[in-house]
Chains A and B, each alone.
Chain A
Amino acid sequence: MIIKRADVALLVILAVVVLLVPATLGDYWILTFGTVGAIALAVIGLNVAMGWAGLLSFGQPVFMAVGGYTSAILTTRYGVNPWLALLAGIALSAVVAAVIGFPVLKLESHYFAVATFAMSLIVLSLINGAQGFTGGAIGVIGIPPLTIGSVNFAEHMPYYVLVWVLVALALLVTYAIRASRTGRAFRVLAARPDVASSLGIQVRRYRVIAFVISAVLASLAGSLIVEFSTYASPDNFNGDVGILVFAMLFIGGVRTASGPIIGAAIVTVVPVEATAIGKYSALTFELILLVILVVWPRGLGISVATGVEDAIERFVKNLGKPRASVADGAGGLGARSSGGGDHG
C-alpha cells in the first residue's frame, strides 16, 4: 500500500484544519500556518531523502539558503521577476545538489550526515563572507513579493493559499515518485543498500536523484520565506534550521505523508505558544520534543492515528460478539488481545 489508512485520515484532518483556519481564526494564525506550510515543504523534501532513500541529511538549510538568496539577489540587484527568481533558485539548488552530491553521496550514513552539516556551515560562512553580494550578517532587504496581477503573495491570505497549494502539490508529486520505479529504487537504498547494486540499481545515481528532489523542495521553501518576508538573513538558514527540520520529520513521522506537516506545525507553533509560560518556555518546548520522541518514536500523528484506528477496529469487532459474562471474563481478554497489532 502506498499510503496507510491512518496517514490518509490524518491528511484529511489536516486538510480540514487548513481550510478552516482562515474562516475561523484570526490573521495571526493565518500567518503562523502559512509559515508552517512553507517549512513543511523543506521537511517533505527531507522525507524523500531520508525517509525513503535513507540519506541522513542535515543539508536542508543549504538549499533553503540557495533558493532564498537566489531570489533575493536576482530580484533586488538585477530586477528579475520574483517568479523567475524562484525558479532560478530551484534550478540552481538542483545543480548544486547534483554537483556536491555526486562526490559526497559516496559517503555512508553518519559520514554523509556530518558532511551535510559541514555544508550548511560552509554556506553560512559564504553568506557572511560575501558581504558585498549577500549583505553579510545584515542580509538583503526590500525583496519584491510574488504577485499575480493584483494579488500580492506577501499578504497573509494569498500567501497562505499559495503555500498550501504548493504543499498539496509537493505531496502529490513526491508520492507519485514514491510509487514509481524511482521511488522503489529509493526504498531499496533505505531498506537494503547492500542489495541495491545486485538489483541493477545505480546506488549513487539514485542517491543523487533523492538529494536533488529534497534540495528542490528546500529551495522552494527558502524562496517562499524570503519573498514573503521581503528580507533574507543568514539566521533563516543556519545549522539550527537543519536540526529543527530534522526534528520536525521525526516528531511528525518519518515515511508518512502527514508527518512533515504535523512536525512543522508542532516545532513552529509550540515554542511561540510556550512563551506564555515565561522564562522556562524554551525548556518546556525542548522537554515536549523529547517526550514526543520517546513516547511516540514513529511520530506523534501516525502513532495516535494508528492507536485510534486499532481502538475503532476492536470496538467494531466486539460489537458483533455476545457480551461476555463475569464468569467468562477470560474470553473478553482474549478478544481484546487478538484485536490489535496486525498493522504492518
Chain B
Amino acid sequence: MPGKATVMKRGEPVGLDVAGVSASYGRLRALDPLDVKVKPGGLVLVVGPNGAGKSTLLRTLAGLTAKSQGNVVLGQRNLSRMSAPKRARQGLVLIPEGRGTLPGLTVEENLLLGARLGGAPLDWGDVSRYLPRLQERSWQNCASLSGGEMQMLAIARAIAARARLLLLDEPSRGLAPLIVGEVYRALQALNSDGLGMILVEQKSVPLWRAPDETIVLAAGRVIHRAVAERVDEAMLADLYMSGAR
C-alpha cells in the first residue's frame, strides 16, 4: 500500500465545504442551490440520470460554469471568486467526463501538464506508487491508449498535479467491469491515503467503501440524500419516478 507521503505532499488532507452552489446556462437554471460537505479524506457519491446536473455540479465547483453562485471552500481557503485555473492550482482538480486526456500529447506530456499545475517537477515515483504500469508508456501518444488506460492517465495527471481534492465525472463510463475494478483500486489507494473525492456516477455503483454521503440529483435538484444508507438501483428508480419535475 502506498505511503501517505505521495498524495499529501501539499500538506494534511483537506475537506470541501460547498454552500448554496447553483448554476445557470443563460436563463436556464441547470442546478438549484445545493450544499455538499466532503470531510478531509472523505468520499461523496453523486448519482442521477442523464441531464440531472451531475456534470454541471462538478464543473461549477471547478469554476467552469459561466453563471454560478454560492460558496466553495477548500480547506480554509474560499475559492468562490477564483477562476477555474486558480481553483485547479489550489488543488481542486476535475477529471472530466471523457477522461480529459489530450490526443497528440504523449503520456509524459500529459503528466507534465499536471506537474505544472501542482507547481512541482514531475515525479514518476509519485505516479508509479498508484499506477505502476504507466511509466512504460511514457512516450506513447495518449490517443493510442485504451479507455481504461486513458482514465488511469487522467488520475495520474491529478496525482502529478498534487490534487488536494478530486472531482471525478463518471470514471467508470464506457469501461469493462474488469477495468473499472482497476480504476477504482487506484482511487481507493488515493482515498485511503487521505485524498478526498466527489465521485459522480450515473448509477449507484459498488465502491471500495461506503460513501460518507450519497446525493441523488434529478432535473438539477437534490431529490435525496443518504448518509450511511445504501442507495440501490430499485431505490434510485423509485426516486427518479417520484422526484423528477
Contacts and interface: CB of A to CB of B under 8 A. Distances in A.
Interface of A: 1, 181, 184-185, 187-188, 190-192, 194-195, 197-202, 255, 344
Contacts of B112: 181, 184
Contact of B113 (A1, A188, A202): A188
Contacts of B114: 199
A198 B163 CA distance: 12
Given A181-B116, A344-B141, A344-B144, A197 B96 contact: no
Nearest to B117: A200
Nearest to A344: B141
Contact of A198 (B93, B139, B141): B93
Contact of B104 (A181, A191, A199, A201): A191
Contacts of A190: 104
Nearest to A191: B102
Nearest to B103: A191
A187 B105 contact: yes
Contacts of B120: none
A49 to B, nearest CB: 16
Main secondary structure of the interface of A (DSSP, over half): helix
Given A197-B64, A199-B88, A187 B104 contact: yes
A197 B85 contact: yes
Given A195-B102, A198-B94, 11 more contacts: A187-B104, A192-B102, A195-B96, A197-B62, A197-B64, A198-B84, A200-B117, A200-B161, A201-B85, A255-B104, A344-B141
A197 B93 CA distance: 10
A24 B33 CA distance: 75
B100 A192 contact: yes
Interface of B: 62-64, 83-86, 88-89, 93-94, 96, 100, 102-106, 109, 112-114, 116-117, 139, 141, 143-144, 157, 161
Contacts of A194: 64, 96
Contacts of B117: 199-200
A181 B105 CA distance: 12
A200 B89 contact: yes
A198 B88 CA distance: 6
Contacts of A184: 105, 109, 112-113, 116
B86 to A, nearest CB: 8
B139 A191 contact: no
B25 to A, nearest CB: 14
B63 A197 contact: yes
Query: Which are the 10 A-B pairs with shortest beta-carbon distances?
Result: A197-B84, A200-B117, A195-B100, A200-B88, A198-B94, A200-B85, A191-B102, A344-B141, A200-B89, A199-B113
Contacts of B83: 197, 202
14 contacts: A181-B112, A187-B105, A188-B102, A190-B104, A194-B96, A197-B64, A197-B84, A197-B85, A198-B62, A198-B94, A198-B96, A199-B114, A200-B116, A344-B143
A201 B62 CA distance: 13
Contacts of A185: 113
Nearest to B102: A191
Nearest to A188: B102
A290 to B, nearest CB: 27
Given A184-B109, A184-B112, A197 B88 contact: yes
B146 to A, nearest CB: 14
Contacts of A187: 102, 104-105, 109
Contacts of B84: 197-198
A185 B102 CA distance: 11
Contacts of B157: 199
Contacts of A197: 62-64, 83-85, 88
A22 to B, nearest CB: 37
Contacts of B102: 187-188, 191-192, 195
Contacts of B143: 344
Contacts of B96: 194-195, 198
Contacts of A200: 85-86, 88-89, 116-117, 161
Given A1-B139, A184-B113, A198 B105 contact: no
Contacts of B86: 200
Contacts of B100: 192, 195, 198
Contacts of B109: 184, 187
Given A1-B139, A198-B84, A198-B94, A191 B116 contact: no
B116 to A, nearest CB: 6
A146 B83 CA distance: 47
A180 to B, nearest CB: 10
With most chain B CB atoms within 10 A of its CB, the pick from A187, A192, A202, A255 is: A192
A199 B117 CA distance: 6
Given A197-B63, A198-B62, A200-B89, A191 B113 contact: no
A194 B94 CA distance: 12
Contacts of B89: 200
A190 B143 CA distance: 14
A191 B105 CA distance: 9
A202 B88 CA distance: 11
A195 B110 CA distance: 12
Nearest to B58: A198
A233 to B, nearest CB: 39
Nearest to A179: B109
Contacts of A255: 104
